[in-house]
Chains A and B, each alone.
Chain A
Amino acid sequence: MRLILLLFMVVGGSFLRCSMPHHQDEFFGDVEFVFKGRYVNEPLVMGKNYSYFDQSLINFTKSEFFISQIKLKSVSHEHLLTDIAFISLTESHTSIELSEAGYKLKFSNIPVDQYSALSFGIGVPSNLNSKNPSQFDINHPLGEGSHYWSGWKSYIFSKTEGVMTNGTDATNFAYHSGFDSAYRSFEFQKNITVKSNETTQIVVEMDHQRQFGTSTQFVNIAQDPIFHDGGPFMITFMNNYQSSIHYSLYVV
């Protein structure tokens, strides 16, 4: 009798094993973020002139930012994709083709699930912003000195730089945000399905005109070409920055 029971257990165990996925891969998929700079409806190309709200010409020479605490949330749990990453559109947006392709950030081995929300922050969360580059490896996103402003004792959360031209007057602008007050959180409620051995692509678009306001209330760049402090101008800019971001979802 014992022998028969043992036989059943072995055979049953074998069946159970056969019914399970053969490879660990089958429990995981990939999630790829594609960051695309836009100027209203056009792809953003560094150095290309666009029409500003007041019909001046604006072009961009640098656009970069930290993204942090990227999480996928489901009913039962949340999955942290990364605590911090640095995104630079500067070198990835030098032609229309490259701009359309975007800056890619891929995460592998994400548990298969039906997620219901995506959340992330723009900037460096306070627990990391209290550190400085010497506390990281030079290859870590937070180990790069040019992303840190010693005078503030804060990381530089975002840099938007370029040139505004109005007739013969040209103004170089540099808007650098920092301090904990500049951190902006996002949560998008939408079904995001991560399937086994597939890549779910999340396209994050940033409208660079929207960073400067709206047609009724926009930044006077010639008057305020530079900020790198935590003043009200920076707070307004970061509110606009938050509004400039939206996303769409694809399965590749």
Chain B
Amino acid sequence: MLFRNYHLVLLLVIGIVFYNCHEDKPLDHDDLTQITYDPKEYVVQIPYGLQELPKIVDNPMTYAGVQLGRHLFYDPILSSDSTLSCSSCHNPRLAFTDGQAFSKGVNGQIGTRSSMSLLNIAYFTKGLFWDGRSKTLETQALEPVKNPIELHEEWPNVIHKFKRHPDYPRMFREAFGISSKTEITQELAAKAIAQFERILLTGGNSLYAKQLRGEIFFDLDQQQGMDMFFNSDPSLPDAQCGHCHSAPTFSANDYFNNGLDTVNNLTDFKDKGRGAVTGILLDNGRFKAPTLFNIELTAPYMHDGRFKTLDEVMDHYTGQVKRVANIDPNVANLRINTRQRKQVMAFIKTLVDTTYLQNPDVLSPF
């Protein structure tokens, strides 16, 4: 009996010691250092014919970073009521647009501009959004979350949700090497989204690219349409498209007034566009020229989605251009006949390339 008691006392002592040890070193629930951080470079495949993209020194591309960005992009956790994600307005099947003239935010709030395609967004080095108000993808990604007519959420709330999430703390650790959940920030979230957006590339498998590579020949309409687009055949009229939609990205990476609205004074534009950002009068009514890659998928068109079809866009450029003081001089009512108009359209349709949808890194993980 004494022997049995001795054992009981011993077990009790050991139990107390273990308990006390546990008390002395409580488990740090924020600690992430047990998770392996082994970043591997994500090598972006540049589509044929497009320029090399520079490495972003303060946000190098890694597999873990792209994967985290992909999850955040498609996750409604970023919105205040968990109903909308970035992909709500940037649907991959619509070339990362939403098919609406004005995008809908949380609570059905209607925005003021049409959603822009994110394809080849890495090439927009002179500002993002229709008016260029964000200089980098990292700063751009912060904006929609706090915009009351978009995701209408506060970043501190989002960070709180990330910290409680079963996967995101680990994914932030794997992407950025943070040691603790407390190091999760909106800037890291934006960096991850930016990394994901930099892989949204297109164009290398378009008919246009195949024709450049010599894999196919254009038919007569496509060829003459291209010649008019780029004004490369003096015997054909100049369709003037290539000034604002320059190859290889089919965007001039710049801001233009393309004669959409008549104003008596440059201060009278309802939406001042670039001018609201720069404060320069001549920039009023100027908007970014979007890429024409996959333009067939991104209706409606213009910053306010006023044109429902590409035919309506062509109607504009062949007879409805309004002359204002800062209209781009290369935008004028085109003198092309019906056949030539169809040929320009035939060429523009060679710019469709949806093979990005075959890249599993691009599609929703949910």
Contacts and interface: CB of A to CB of B under 8 A. Distances in A.
Interface stretch (B6-14, B104-112, B137-145, B324-332): B324-332
Contacts of A136: 51-52
B67 interface: no
B interface SS class: loop
Interface in A117-174: 132-134, 136-139, 143-146, 148-152, 161-163, 170, 172-174
B51 A134 contact: yes
B282 A149 contact: no
B252 interface: yes
Given A134-B49, A145-B251, A145-B253, A151 B230 contact: yes
Given A133-B51, A145-B252, A146-B246, A139 B125 contact: yes
A111 interface: no
B247 to A, nearest CB: 4
Interface string A179-196: 000000000000000000
Contact of B248 (A94, A133, A226): A133
B103 to A, nearest CB: 27
Nearest to A143: B51
Contacts of A46: 280, 282
B285 to A, nearest CB: 12
A61 interface: yes
Contacts of B242: 149-151
Nearest to B332: A172
A228 B280 contact: no
A12 B168 CA distance: 67
A19 B252 CA distance: 55
A143 B251 CA distance: 13
B26 to A, nearest CB: 50
Nearest to A60: B282
Contacts of A152: 232
Given A46-B282, A138-B123, A225-B329, A145 B247 contact: yes
B254 interface: yes
B329 A226 contact: yes
B54 A172 contact: no
Interface string B245-279: 01111111110000000000000000000000010
Contact of A228 (B50, B231, B323): B231
B326 A149 contact: no
A163 B254 CA distance: 19
B232 A163 contact: no
B125 A138 contact: yes
B282 A148 contact: no
Interface string B20-54: 00000000000000000000000000000111111
Contacts of B216: none
B254 A146 contact: yes
A150 B230 contact: yes
Interface string B280-308: 11100000000000000000000000000
Contacts, number: 90
Contacts of A134: 49-51, 248
A170 B51 CA distance: 38
Nearest to A138: B51
A144 B278 CA distance: 22
Contacts of B254: 146
Contacts of A132: 248
Contacts of B249: 145
A172 B249 CA distance: 26
A94 B282 CA distance: 9
B325 A170 contact: yes
A133 B52 CA distance: 9
A94 B251 CA distance: 24
A149 B230 contact: yes
Contacts of B250: 145
B253 A144 contact: yes
A235 B77 CA distance: 60
A91 to B, nearest CB: 8
Given A145-B246, A150-B230, A151-B230, A94 B280 contact: yes
B253 A137 contact: no
B52 A146 contact: no
Interface string A201-239: 000000000000000000000000110110000000000
Contact of B54 (A137, A162, A170): A137
16 contacts: A46-B280, A134-B51, A134-B248, A136-B52, A138-B123, A144-B253, A145-B247, A145-B248, A146-B246, A148-B247, A149-B242, A150-B230, A152-B232, A173-B329, A225-B329, A226-B330
Q: Which 7 A-B pairs have the closest CB atoms?
A: A151-B232, A151-B230, A146-B252, A174-B329, A172-B329, A145-B246, A138-B51
Given A91-B280, A151-B242, 18 more contacts: A46-B280, A94-B280, A133-B51, A133-B248, A134-B51, A137-B51, A138-B53, A138-B54, A138-B123, A143-B52, A145-B248, A145-B251, A145-B253, A162-B329, A170-B323, A172-B328, A225-B329, A228-B243
